[in-house]
Amino acid sequence: MHRRRVLAIAVTLLSGCSNLPRATGPRTPPTPSEPTAAPQRSLRVTDLDVEEAEDGHLRVLATVQNPTGAQRTRTLRIRVRAGTIRTEQQQQVTVAANTEREVAFEFEDVAYDDFSGNGSLNTNWVD
């Protein structure tokens, strides 16, 4: 009888000393809050096209759309890789509200033939 009582007391006392993982954090789930709207991008590139300029260099045409109700200006960067050549250009783009416009980037140090074989483009907004 005493063994059972001693064993029960020992288990109770030693349970706080174990290294077993315990639940952490709040005991109740968080209450839902107002949903937040995803931030609307002010300008976005909707289309990219490449063409050969008259002297044979690469020309990149980017169609930029402004879906907002106000005129927006941002800096667009286009990176070009053609073989061992890597280059980039930046251009500030202003688009009126709810419109789109085409912007041309002239890569005079990249031949169109070099790019058309194995080239790649990458666009991103600088600001």
pLDDT at 83: 87
pTM of the model: 0.66
Q: What is the average pLDDT score of the chain?
A: 83
List C-alpha distances in Å: 125 to 39, 69, 78.
15, 20, 9
Q: Is residue 88 part of a domain?
A: yes
Q: Is residue 103 part of a domain?
A: yes
CA dihedral 67, 104, 87, 74 (to 10 degrees): -30
Mean local confidence (pLDDT), 55-65? 96
> Is pLDDT above 90 for 10?
no
pLDDT at 72: 94
> Is pLDDT above 60 for 97?
yes
Instruction: Please return the burial class of 77, using the count of CB atoms within 10 Å of its CB with bins 0-12, 13-18 and 19+.
Output: middle
What total of structural domains would you count in the chain?
A: 1
Euclidean distance between CA atoms 63 and 28, whole angstroms: 50
> Can you give the CATH number for the domain in which 104 is found?
2.60.40.10
Euclidean distance between CA atoms 50 and 121, whole angstroms: 10
> Is pLDDT above 90 for 66?
yes
Q: Is residue 21 part of a domain?
A: no
Q: Where is pLDDT greater, at 36 or 108? A: 108
25: left (phi over 0), alpha (psi -120 to 50) or beta: left
pLDDT at 118: 85
pLDDT at 91: 96
Q: Where is pLDDT greater, at 108 or 25? A: 108
pLDDT at 49: 94
> Is pLDDT above 80 for 23?
no
